[in-house]
């Protein structure tokens, strides 16, 4: 008969406690585990809350261990339950929900709480901390209703909160008591550079300010500082620090000070009760950074499982963070004093700064800003008190005469196997090295997909790259390649070739046969593979809706308030009074917040509720403008020769013809056209994927323009004389882009990667290849929904089309 398992209870479902459980599960299965968490969520990464706030990630994206993980490991998880008392004599715990559980071993991992300053008026509505998902939700809601915000605290949390609120469209001011941002991690020079960079990103600062009062009615409306100055703020985030959550220890008779007191094996004063993470105080220190908490957890896991281990001796704190896109690092001492020798370098052009402090010739501290490549080496030197040498100086300051790559990997070689590389995920050097050796990984993205390292703040990326270089040696650059995402090392070309060669037909089949690291794929590769299959097998591949982005599935663009925008198609920017009336009637009936004229000469119905979308489209009875899709969005036109005294070509009719012909066809990314009736360029052809400019002799075709984030003027591809040549050339360019473009790669990037000369040769000069491209796109067009079946390239048909639109033009 087997012995009953020991009962292990964990109070706290956060990063420190669950990481400790992960280490325990690797060592033994002798525990029957129960976890109590106050929040209604599984274990998630608090470090990434700022990404949720700015909208680049969802709550699901930052979950570390989902609900299934607990089930698969036999862990009883009770969320929404706060443990209120520990009976250390009878070894039981009680929750506020009335639950009771007994234990043989107990782990307290209650983390910390936001420190809320007792400022008069802080009890008003609109004042929150920034510590958990509930706080994040309040900030997201506030951004929908209010315009001005203040963040009290210029540390990491405060800056991340400010970044997120600015991204949500709020006017944000960071209020900081000190004159330097992140003064506990950065010196004055690095802080000033950080502030300058954040001001460029739209964050305002009130430095050296102390808040005396928060004024308002039921809600906060302004801050009043001790110097009498005021700041309007309808929302306030308090981010002045954290306080160890030691309450459960205090009420249960366990010794506490600033936190719950623990020894070198994380044992508290109560028998068989341990504490780990931000709630624990070890040798007078409470750690708030992730790496020390994971170090504690590793030692506790070994100790509790009976594995011989040295005790925890504390951590030399180092900070390696990516704040609003800026890399910063500090370790050890960073404020120079009389005893220090200072080595420093500042590059205002590259916006980088480096400072190393020596004490009697030994490296005792460092600060890096903008470039943290040397962080792994410096962290080791500071921890070991390494003597500065000419060789180390040359490596750090870039004056060495030997290969820099070799010196960087030398530091990695000396790293201990159990040293944590990724503090956010607790990934050690050994885990990364084993993954490289056992699974043949060659890129940072592959390591991220396999181990999680670099998946949070990204601060450990330089060290991961150095480990890759160290393990792979000379083969690192030769073998390393970038796949379409972290799930696979395969490029677009390799995936497409394999699909054709092996006859693969579905996304799941592709991922299985081609051995994706993540068998389910991700939000980046699933839509890409679905697109490749559609291009390779037009009419045969069944479009996988689950592989589409949410906007494409909903046939509308989701907005930050959860409503949607609906954009009906208007061919060439031309519509009729009847369609305008439909749009007006539907907008009134479904309480549309606004109707906006878009840059693509269409009308955008803003603020449609999700449940109303099917009815809105039904009552509009108009084709979708595909404002959400990776397809032809718009064809912008001027009024052309029909009305303009300068017009030489019928731009409206040709634009409408091209839009009707190629609508609903999938592309690697969104695709826009413009047709001008003369070289005056009123329809802005120079910034479109394909721009068409009319002249007395015919048309000139431009490609690769972009008016967005990466602005680019289009390149002239060729000139044609007839509408038929125009249509064929547009078709050839589109199909060549469809076949060779990387998924989500705009034509502006595609033209630069492929080269204008190659595109000209394939789509214009090589008659046979051009014909193949045209035939391929015509074949694909026969399978799209409601295709435009005739190419309107003669004057009679164009005239008929124009006549149907003339009343609307006249009204305009």
DSSP symbols for 393-409: HHHHHT--SS-HHHHHH
The DSSP H or E segment spanning 651 is helix 651-662
For residues 186 and 180, what is the distance between their CA atoms, to the nearest angstrom?
8
Low-confidence ranges of the chain (pLDDT < 50): 1, 401-406, 478-479, 786-812
The shares of helix, strand and coil residues in the chain, as percent rounded to the nearest 5, are: 40, 25, 40
Token pair 């998924």 is found at 743
Give the integer Cα–Cα distance in Å for 450 and 488: 10
pLDDT digits (tens, 9 = 90+) for 376-408: 788 888 888 999 998 888 888 876 544 444 455
What is the torsion angle, in degrees rounded to the nearest 10, for the CA atoms of residue 732, residue 738, residue 739 and residue 745?
A: 130
Tell me, what DSSP letter sits at residue 714? Answer: P
Determine contact, residues 297/23, Cβ cutoff 8 Å.
Answer: yes
Partners of residue 216 on adjacent β-strands: 220
Which residues are 175's β-sheet partners?
A: 152, 206
pTM equals 0.59
Class of residue 68 by CB neighbours under 10 A (exposed 0-12, middle 13-18, buried 19+): exposed
Side-chain-facing half-sphere of 761: CA atoms under 13 Å: 5
| 749-771 confidence digits (pLDDT tens) | 999 889 999 999 999 999 999 99
Q: DSSP label at 228?
A: S
pLDDT for residue 790: 34
Q: For 466-489, give the DSSP string.
A: HHHHHHHTTHHHHH----SBTTBS
Of the candidates 679, 684, 705, 715, the one whose C-alpha atom is nearest the C-alpha of residue 694 is 679
Alpha carbons 697 and 657: distance in angstroms, whole number: 20
CA distances for 275 relative to 64, 278, 291, 311, 345, angstroms: 21, 9, 16, 14, 42
- Locus of tokens 């431009």: 702
Please name the residues in contact with 294: beta carbons below 8 A apart, sequence gap of 6 or more. Answer: 16, 19, 420, 423, 426
Query: Which residue in 338, 340, 372 sits closest to 354, CA to CA?
Result: 372
Q: Are 238 and 129 in contact (CB under 8 A)?
A: yes
Burial class (CB in 10 A: 0-12, 13-18, 19+), 755: exposed
What confidence score (pLDDT) does residue 408 get? 54
Residue (of 351, 282, 342, 271) closest to 312 by Cα position: 282
In order of their start, the domains of the chain are 6-112+244-304 (3.50.50.60), 127-240 (3.50.50.60), 318-479 (3.30.390.30), 492-548 (no CATH), 551-620 (3.90.480.10), 632-804 (3.30.413.10)
For residues 662 and 674, the answer to whether their CB atoms sit within 8 Å is no
Given a contact cutoff of 8 angstroms between Cβ atoms, the answer to whether 81 and 72 are in contact is no
């Amino acid at each position: 008969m087997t012995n009953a398992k020991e009962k292990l209870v964990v109070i706290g479902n956060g990063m420190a406690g669950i990481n400790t459980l992960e280490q325990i599960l690797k060592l033994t299965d002798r525990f029957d585990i129960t976890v109590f968490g106050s929040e209604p969520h599984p274990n998630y990464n608090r470090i990434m809350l700022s990404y949720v706030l700015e909208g680049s990630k969802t709550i699901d994206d930052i979950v570390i261990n989902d609900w299934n993980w607990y089930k698969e490991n036999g862990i009883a998880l009770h969320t929404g339950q706060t443990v209120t008392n520990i009976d250390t004599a009878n070894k039981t715990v009680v929750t506020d929900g009335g639950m009771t559980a007994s234990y043989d071993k107990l782990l307290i991992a209650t983390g910390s709480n936001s420190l809320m300053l007792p400022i008069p008026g802080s009890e008003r509505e609109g004042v929150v901390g920034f510590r958990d998902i509930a706080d994040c939700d309040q900030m997201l809601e506030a951004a929908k209703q209010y315009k001005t915000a203040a963040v009290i605290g210029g540390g990491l949390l405060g800056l991340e909160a400010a970044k997120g609120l600015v991204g949500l469209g709020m006017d944000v001011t960071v209020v900081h008591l000190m004159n330097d941002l992140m003064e506990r991690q950065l010196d004055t020079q690095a802080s000033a550079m950080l502030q300058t960079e954040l001001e460029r990103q739209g964050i305002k600062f009130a430095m050296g300010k102390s808040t005396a009062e928060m004024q308002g009615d039921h809600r906060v409306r302004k801050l009043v500082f001790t110097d009498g100055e005021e700041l309007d703020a309808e929302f306030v985030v308090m981010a002045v620090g954290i306080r160890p959550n030691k309450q459960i220890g205090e009420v249960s008779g366990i010794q506490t000070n600033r936190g719950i007191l623990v020894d070198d094996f994380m044992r508290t004063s109560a028998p068989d009760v341990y504490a780990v993470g931000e709630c624990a105080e070890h040798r007078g220190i409470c750690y708030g950074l992730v790496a020390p908490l994971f170090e504690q957890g590793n030692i506790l896991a070994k100790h509790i499982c009976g594995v011989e281990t040295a005790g925890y001796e504390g951590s030399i704190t180092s900070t390696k963070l990516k704040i609003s896109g800026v890399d910063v690092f500090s370790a050890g001492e960073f404020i120079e004093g009389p005893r220090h020798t200072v080595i420093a370098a500042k590059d205002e052009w590259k916006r980088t700064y480096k400072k190393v402090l020596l004490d009697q010739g030994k490296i005792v501290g460092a600060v890096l800003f903008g470039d943290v490549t040397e962080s792994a080496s410096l962290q080791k030197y500071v921890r070991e008190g390494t003597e500065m040498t000419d060789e180390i100086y040359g490596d750090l300051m870039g004056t060495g005469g030997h290969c820099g790559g070799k010196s960087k990997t030398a530091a990695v070689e000396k790293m201990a196997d159990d040293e944590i590389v990724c503090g956010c995920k607790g990934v050690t050097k050994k885990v990364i090295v084993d993954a490289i050796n056992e699974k043949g990984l060659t890129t940072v993205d592959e390591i991220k997909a396999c181990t999680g390292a670099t998946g949070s703040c990204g601060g450990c990326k330089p060290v991961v790259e150095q480990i890759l270089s160290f393990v792979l040696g000379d083969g690192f650059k030769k073998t390393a390649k970038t796949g379409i995402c972290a799930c696979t090392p395969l490029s677009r070309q390799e995936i497409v070739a394999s699909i054709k060669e092996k006859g693969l037909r579905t996304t799941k089949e592709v991922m299985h046969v081609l051995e994706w690291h993540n068998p389910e794929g991700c939000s980046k590769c699933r839509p890409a593979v679905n697109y490749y299959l559609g291009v390779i097998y037009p009419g045969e591949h069944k479009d996988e809706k689950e592989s589409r982005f949410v906007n494409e599935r909903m046939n509308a663009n989701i907005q930050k308030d959860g409503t949607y925008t609906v954009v009906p198609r208007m061919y060439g920017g031309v519509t009729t009074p009847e369609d305008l009336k439909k749009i007006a009637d539907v907008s009134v009936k479904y309480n549309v917040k606004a109707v906006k004229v878009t840059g693509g000469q269409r009308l955008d119905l803003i603020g449609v509720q999700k449940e109303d979308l099917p009815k809105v489209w039904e009552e509009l009875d108009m084709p979708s403008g595909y404002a959400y899709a990776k397809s032809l969005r718009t064809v912008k036109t001027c009024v052309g020769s029909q009305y303009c005294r300068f017009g030489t070509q019928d731009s409206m009719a040709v634009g409408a013809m091209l839009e009707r012909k190629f609508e609903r066809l999938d592309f690697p990314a969104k695709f826009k056209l413009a047709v001008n009736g003369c070289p005056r360029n009123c329809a802005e052809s120079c910034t479109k994927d394909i721009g068409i400019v009319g002249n007395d002799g015919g048309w000139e075709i431009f490609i690769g323009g972009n008016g967005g984030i990466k602005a680019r003027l289009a390149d002239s591809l060729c000139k044609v004389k007839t509408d038929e040549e125009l249509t064929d050339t547009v078709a050839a360019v589109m199909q060549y882009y469809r076949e060779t473009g990387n998924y989500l790669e705009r034509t502006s990037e595609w033209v630069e990667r492929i080269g204008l000369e190659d595109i000209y040769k394939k789509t214009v000069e090589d008659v046979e290849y051009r014909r193949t491209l045209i035939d391929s796109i015509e074949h694909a067009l026969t399978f799209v929904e409601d295709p435009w079946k005739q190419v309107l390239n003669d004057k009679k048909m164009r005239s008929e089309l124009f006549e149907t639109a003339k009343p609307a033009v006249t009204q305009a």
